[in-house]
Amino acid sequence: MQKSVISIGPYHPLQEEPELFMLTVEGETVVDIEVSIGYNHRGIEKLSERCNFDQSTFVIERICGICSTSHPFAYTRAVEDIIPVEVPERARYIRTIIAEGERIHSHLLWYGLAGHFLGYNTVYMWMWKLREEILDVMEILSGNRNNYAMFKPGGVRRDINSDDIPLALKKIDAIIPTLDRLKKAILDDPVLHARLKGIGILTKEEAVDYCALGPTSRASGVARDVRKDAPYGAYDRVDWDMIVTESCDVWGKAVVRLLEMYESIKIVKTCLQNLPGGEIDLNIKSIPPGEGIGAHEAPRGETFHYVRSDGTNRPARHKVRASTFMNLPTLKATVPGSSISDATIILAAIDPCYCCTERMAVRSREGKKLYGGQELIRLSQEKTKKIKREMGIK
Amino acid sequence: MNLTLKALLKSPWVFHLSTGSCNNCDIEILDCLTPRFDIERFGMRLVGSIRHADVLLVTGSGNRKSMLRVKKIYEEQVPKPCVVVGIGECAMSRGMFIHSYNCPRPLDSDIPVDVYIPGCPPKPEAIIAGVVKLINKIKGIE
């Protein structure tokens, strides 16, 4: 059959960020998918290397607006890994509260957008209305709606005022009945069952092969969560469960996210109720030379940061690997074979975040040759040699 | 004020264009549409096609790859008259990305911007206030 290419993007009403999907279709069926990114690339790793360790947290926070806690969390853990130090108990709890609040609002956001893609605009409006309540809680606790600016290497920047805790707890309790109603509406809806079950299958073997992370892997039966596997923050001090389903499809991913919100609410409430006293910051004065790694389970999966220090007050190298970078290739396994109308929700099911994932690649104009770092350096050196030859300098 | 501009202000339809932002401003724009803020009561609607838009809400620090598209969209596809609103610190001055290798020029060197809404990200209230101010200014009410 004749093949044709449908391009979605880079500016498309489906997406809030610019990216380009090229779907190769045979009739109604998608046979291949190609993703083109780079419309969001801002060179943050390089920017981070010209800031000092404290300033970097602000730059890292702006990698992605939705994961604005996950990246600083992983980064500060990487810097603390260089020294190495243990952060004070109160700071651990505050970090956990902010991180879990972010998870709730991120999952609600995903639900809203998924509902919108499926034609359920009611779900979209309800979820985002509920999300405002969570943002209010975050505003009470941290002073900001989105970029919380709470993290710094060695602790947290601001303390949670004990007078604010009762109001925050009251607001969180008020969310639960609405969430229960939405949960019932989603889980009992026959149309959503028909629409989401059995599409975008990512088997357990494929999830392991593609190194899928977060809800994408947990929906395929891979019980992998940094918060359980290598506890940090206050995750080993509170009682919570890892949500794993075996259904492998888009429905499974939706259920994992729905139930994870309940776990996050449980963690936030427990942490707020048992917030220990004491210092919130270690006041780190200098960072010795060395390397450190830090990981955090972001709403979309594990976020991983690597920082190398050379003894100055700036990172010598900072490497970011966001969760979508690992989840995006799974589309190669899930999208081909589905119909065009299902492709939308399968693309959205991994909760893609392109501003986290952005990379720069240098490609030759002819053909599709990609240049790596070593090759670029070699090309640069050859050009210098060529110019020298032309100018007659030996 | 000519007739097209007058008709435009009655119910401005907005299109949202990201030029390499961190998503926060984009989400705050979508927040404006949801029940708590609900800008549809002012007649504003987020439209799916650039050819239906009266107002462009531009976010982001203007990266090399996307600015080419934004320029093309502004010059060839948007029906004129069109009002451009720069949302967030990045659209104003590139904010903390001013030293980035991939954000060479500020947004207003490529397309004309009528109003800036500062903030990182601006709150939905600020976005609504900015757009209302712009409408009043065009109408001549100050």
What confidence tens digit (pLDDT) does each residue in A326-346 have?
Answer: 888 898 888 888 888 888 888
What mean pLDDT do residues A196-221 have? Answer: 91
Average pLDDT over residues A261-280: 93
Answer yes or no: is pLDDT of A158 > 80. Answer: yes
pLDDT at B1: 60
Domain that holds residue A322: 40-357
Residue A374 or A315, more confident: A315
CATH code of the domain containing A62: 1.10.645.10
Looking at the domain assignment, is residue A30 inside a domain?
A: no
Q: For the residues A137-145, what does the mean pLDDT come to?
A: 91
pLDDT of residue A309: 92
A228 within a domain of the structure (yes/no): yes
Query: Residue A341: inside a domain, yes or no?
Result: yes
The answer to the question of residue A108 being in a domain is yes
Q: Which of residues 79-108 of A touch B (CB under 8 A)?
A: none
Inside any domain, residue A345: yes
Q: B104 pLDDT exceeds 90?
A: no
**Averaged pLDDT for residues A157-163:** 90
Strands A29-36 vs A20-26: parallel, antiparallel or unpaired:
antiparallel
Q: Do A41 and B63 touch (CB under 8 A)?
A: yes
Output the pLDDT for position A244.
93
pLDDT band at A123 (very low <50, low <70, confident <90, very high): confident
Domains in chain B: ranges and CATH: 3-139 (3.40.50.12280)
Strands B13-18, B55-59: pairing kind: parallel
Res. A377: pLDDT tops 90: no
Q: Does residue A71 belong to any structural domain of this protein?
A: yes
Q: Which amino acid is at A369?
A: K
- Please check whether residue A155 lies inside any domain of the structure: yes
Number of domains forming the structure of chain A: 1
More confident residue, A392 or B2: A392
3-state secondary structure of A294: strand
> Residue B82's closest CA among B110, B112, B126?
B112
Q: Which residue does chain B place closest to A36, by CA atoms?
A: B65
Asked if the C-beta of A109 comes within 8 angstroms of chain B's C-beta atoms, the answer is yes
Spell out which residues of chain B touch residue A355, defining contact as CB-CB under 8 Å.
20-23
Return the pLDDT at A367. Answer: 63
Q: What is the pLDDT, as a whole number, of residue A172? A: 93
Long-range contacts at B38-46 (CB < 8 A, ≥ 24 apart): B39/B128, B39/B131, B42/B128, B42/B131, B42/B132, B43/B10, B43/B11, B43/B12, B44/B11, B44/B12, B44/B13, B44/B14, B44/B131, B45/B11, B45/B13, B45/B14, B46/B13, B46/B14, B46/B15, B46/B16
Residue B142 has pLDDT above 60, yes or no: no
Q: How far apart are CA B12 and CA B8, in angstroms?
A: 5
Average pLDDT, rounded, for chain B: 86
Q: What is the tens place of the pLDDT at every residue in A35-60?
A: 888 888 888 888 898 899 999 999 99
Assembly ipTM = 0.90
Contacts of A344 in chain B (CB under 8 A): none
Q: How confident is the model at residue A271 (pLDDT cuts 50, 70, 90)?
A: very high
